[in-house]
Amino acid sequence: MAEEYRRWYDRDPILKEALELLKVQPEETKVEAADFMIKLQENVAAEVIEHVYQMVKTYENKGNRWYDKDPVMLKAIELLRVAPPATQRKAALKLLLALEEKSFDNM
């Protein structure tokens, strides 16, 4: 029987760790992380980007997830969610490194 996952990012332990760590960061760090993740748009198809914007409109300030209250973070997380798995993993690794170094300057 297939293992059940509660959230879309639970399937990849690196992605899960990156998002759980991001969740507890100070606001300034979250802003820098969101900017970094928004750059993922280059790796995501245009029709998928439109879907992301619809999700943002639907959930902004209405959802229960920790990132639903911040429209920039919501957009960034949704872009990460719809990115190809290889891009997700690469972004998660860079995110973990930046959070560890407490700097997004080299991203």
Q: How many residues does the chain have?
A: 107
User: What pLDDT, in 10s, does the model give residues 26-59?
Assistant: 999 999 999 988 887 777 777 788 888 888 888 8
Phi-psi region of 97 (alpha: psi -120 to 50; beta: other; left: phi over 0): alpha
Nearest-CA neighbor of 34 among 83, 63, 70?
A: 70
Predicted pLDDT of residue 48: 80
Separation CA 82–CA 46 (nearest Å): 11
Predicted pLDDT of residue 1: 46
Separation CA 25–CA 89 (nearest Å): 20
Decide which of 43 and 87 is more confident: 87
